[in-house]
Structure 1
Amino acid sequence: MIDWGLADWVAEAVEPLGRVTRKRLFGGAALYCDGIAFAILAFDALWLKADAETDAEWDAVGAPRFTVERDDGKVQSMNYRRAPDETYDDADELRRWARLAIEAGQRAAVKPKRRSK
């Protein structure tokens, strides 16, 4: 079950950074800021986009990486980190971490150009 109240809170808090939209995603929801994927709602938590450039900041606060165990027992990890507890009731903190996630999403959206032969 998706916590739409949490989705509304994120949209309201992140509004100064851009317009937040959402799409259903495998029992959860994906959140986008001005079309850039930056968060998912799953397992009753907010998970924010991370990448190699921001991993040290997430590690410093002990934010676990998003993982899912598949039917075959394999564990799949994605570049999302659990939002720190303070982001659930402090809009400034949520914007701080969301900005990192949006920037990671922007970097992920840039695809290298293929070289022609």
Structure 2
Amino acid sequence: MASKQGTVDFLLDQMASAGPIVAKRMFGEYGLYCDGRFFAVVCDDQLYLKPTAAGREWLGTVVEAPPYPGASNWLLIDGERWDDSAWLSRLAGLTAAALPPPAPKKPRKPKAPKAPKAPKA
């Protein structure tokens, strides 16, 4: 079951004070990025954060589960905690800050000009 856009929009609003957060569609689900760092996914309308020491400490009691079949365990955030914007923003900020910055993108090489086609006889 794919996540609803409304769920993602709500989570983005709730975590807005953590910094610039954007959602990108990924295979019917959503990846969340804070300051360019991939820190969470929304799968089946559930929020999963990458496991970090800072996130575990903030959560206290941790529930881990894979966001999709075959994935490693991530931190599953109970939907009842989503209404606390300050708490959720702090968790998002701590998690993103604990992750390495994104690698700089390599500049694309310009394409070589195509050779003109030979005229047909």
TM over 0.5: yes
Unaligned runs of at least 5 residues, structure 1: 70-74, 111-117
Segments of structure 2 that go 5 or more residues without pairing to the other structure are 104-121
Query: Runs of at least 4 residues of structure 1 off by over 6 A?
Result: none
1:89 to 75, 79, 83: 83
Deviation at 1:61, TM superposition (A): 1.4
Cα RMSD after superposing both structures: 2.7
Residues 16-67 of structure 1: CA distance to partner in whole angstroms, max 9, x if unpaired? 221211111122100111211111000220111223x236437731321325
Contact 1:50 1:100 (C-alpha < 8 Å) held by counterparts: no
1:34 aligns with 2:35: yes
Cα separation, partners in 2 of 1:59 and 1:19, compared to 1, 3 Å: closer
Greater Cα radius of gyration, structure 1 or 2: 2
Decide whether the 8 Å contact of 1:18 with 1:34 is kept in 2: yes
Secondary structure, counterpart of 2:23 in structure 1:
strand
Task: Give the secondary structure class of the aligned counterpart of 2:68.
Answer: strand
1:96 CA drift (Å): 2.1
SS at match of 2:90: helix
TM-score normalised according to structure 2 size: 0.67
Q: Kindly, what percent of the aligned residue pairs are identical?
A: 28
| Superposition TM-score, scaled by structure 1 size | 0.69
Structure number with the higher strand fraction is 1
